[in-house]
Structure 1
Amino acid sequence: MLGNEIFWYEACIVFFAGIVHGILGFGFPMLATPLFALFLDLKKAVLLTLFPTIAVNFLSLKRDNSFGEIWREYRLLIVSIIGGSIIGTNLLVVYYSEYYKLVLAGVILLYLNKARLKISLSHSVATYPVLMTILFGFLSGIVGGIANIMIPVLIILILELNLDKKRAIGVMSFCFITNKILQVLIFGYHGELSTNSVWVILPFVVIAIGGFFIGSRLQDHIDEALYKKILNGVLWVLSLYLTYSTFYM
């Protein structure tokens, strides 16, 4: 059965990623996926995180937003993500390659260097809001389908929309939920999601939710600046290791 041999190690990853998500309002797949990919192929790593990611993002969205409001205001973005997710997930499942780990490493590095790169799309978003929304939604869907992490691409658009923190978390959570539900359907369609694997994954949902609630409680009692430095350090190590392991292991 998928993941049984090293269950407790996997459970620790899910619990830690849940805490991170509870503190920051995002980040579960960004942390859990590369940690799983250290000892599993990327396709299995994505599979193990699908249901826990849906669960913690559902809780994030419901905390300060509603599904109806987000859908009404950002349905163009969400529909664009659906199109990209279908393509990206089919690439992952049907045409899997170890080199997809480089995509995973690349999107982590993009997230870590977003300030240094000083990517600004203010003029383009203001001039062509519909086109840019479709473009970034579609691109983040493809990346999310292949690498399970869409936030580095999505956050570029979110920042340009100048949303407050609560609304930004709501939009990102809705996008993540949409992406993951599509991945569940596509994995199932291609026979990659069996009844046995679902039973293995379900305990991780409970563990992720537990971590999420602990993280939510810690949110107001933690030095966020120091925490983000530590998290960024972990992500740097993971991205470099994934790049190295793709070619040399």
Structure 2
Amino acid sequence: MPPADRPPHRPARAAPGRSAQGCPIALTALVVAGAIALASFVKGSIAFGFPVVATPLLALVLDVKTAVAISLVPNIVMDGVQVCRRGGVLASVRRLLALLVFGLLGMVLGTRLLVVLPPHVALAVLGVFLLAFVGSSAAGLAPRVPPRWERWLSAPVGFLAGILGGVTNVPGTPLVLYFHALGMDKHEFVRAVSLSFLVYKLVQLGATAWYGLLTGPLLLGGVALTVIGLGAFALGLKVQDYLAERTFNRLVLAFLAVLGLWLLARALQ
């Protein structure tokens, strides 16, 4: 069925006083608010991790499509804040332009591969690679990309990230690894990660609206959750500013290790 003729996604009809997942409305609201607040704090602290934290928690009380759609607006707003927070946006755009353009092309291909490739294969490969990267870094063997290679690597890395994003919905993981391997300082890392995520999420926002997943009520719900999340996000930013460079890098690696284990767990389900 052509996309234009495809009926919009409609959540399952819930019983009175309960969500579509059968949970009491009050409990659903509490879990949703708590999930967004926790994910916002994590994102403020280390610049990424919002979908990884928010989506599984939201899926406890919402269907996955609704969980993804309702969390887009808070994620986009916070990425926008982090991109603009310390200036240097145009320099980052010029530096990452090839990576972002090829990343979007890769996402188109990855979405197509999603139809024929079992997602658990890509999840398992990504999880193993992530744990290997963290293990080598912890052993003092952290891979580094020489600055002169960045010009040639940005396009293929962006393309690979886009493909993985289309198949697994986690395009940020290879980008975080790449930026870490480039040896970016804390502020460069935060700006590069946030700019990349902002571009991907804006495209995802348009796609979810086009396919009827992001309805008017969900958009308004996302705006309301943004207000809730910004307080926790601001607290996370204070933690980020307080952290020394070395401590920040250790926290990033620790979160990547947890993410790698989570990806493997998803692959084995």
The normalised TM-score by structure 1 is: 0.76
2:86 pairs, out of 52, 56, 64, with 64
Aligned amino acid, residue 242 of structure 1: R
1:179 pairs, out of 200, 218, 222, with 200
Shift of the 96–216 alpha-carbon distance from structure 1 to 2, 3 Å rule, reads farther
1:154 matches 2:175: yes
Matches within 5 A, 1:1-249: 5=25, 6-37=28-59, 42-88=64-110, 95=115, 100=119, 103=122, 107=126, 110-116=129-135, 120=143, 122=145, 126=148, 129-219=150-240, 235=259, 238-239=262-263, 241-244=265-268, 246=269
CA distance in 2, matches of 1:234, 1:158: 18
Deviation at 1:174, TM superposition (A): 0.6
The normalised TM-score by structure 2 is: 0.71
Contact 1:137/1:154 (8 A) holds in 2: yes
SS at match of 1:64: coil
Deviation at 1:236, TM superposition (A): 6.6
Q: Which has the higher contact order (CA 8 A, sep 6+)?
A: 1
Shift of the 229–76 alpha-carbon distance from structure 1 to 2, 3 Å rule, reads closer
Greater per-residue helix proportion: 1
Shift of the 39–198 alpha-carbon distance from structure 1 to 2, 3 Å rule, reads same
SS at match of 2:156: helix
Aligned residues: 240
Deviation at 1:150, TM superposition (A): 2.4
Aligned amino acid, residue 189 of structure 1: W
SS at match of 2:213: coil
Give ranges in structure 2 of 5+ residues lacking alignment: 1-9, 12-18
CA distance in 2, matches of 1:7, 1:106: 35
Contact 1:85/1:183 (8 A) holds in 2: no
Identity of aligned residues (%): 26
Deviation at 1:54, TM superposition (A): 0.8
Deviation at 1:12, TM superposition (A): 0.7
1:68-89 Cα deviation digits (max 9, x unpaired): 2211222111111222233445
Deviation at 1:144, TM superposition (A): 2.9
Contact 1:55/1:205 (8 A) holds in 2: yes
CA distance in 2, matches of 1:236, 1:51: 26
CA distance in 2, matches of 1:26, 1:231: 9
Deviation at 1:227, TM superposition (A): 6.5
Shift of the 204–90 alpha-carbon distance from structure 1 to 2, 3 Å rule, reads farther
CA distance in 2, matches of 1:96, 1:186: 20
Q: Which has the larger radius of gyration?
A: 2
Aligned amino acid, residue 222 of structure 2: I
The alignment's C-alpha RMSD in Å is 3.6
Deviation at 1:185, TM superposition (A): 1.0
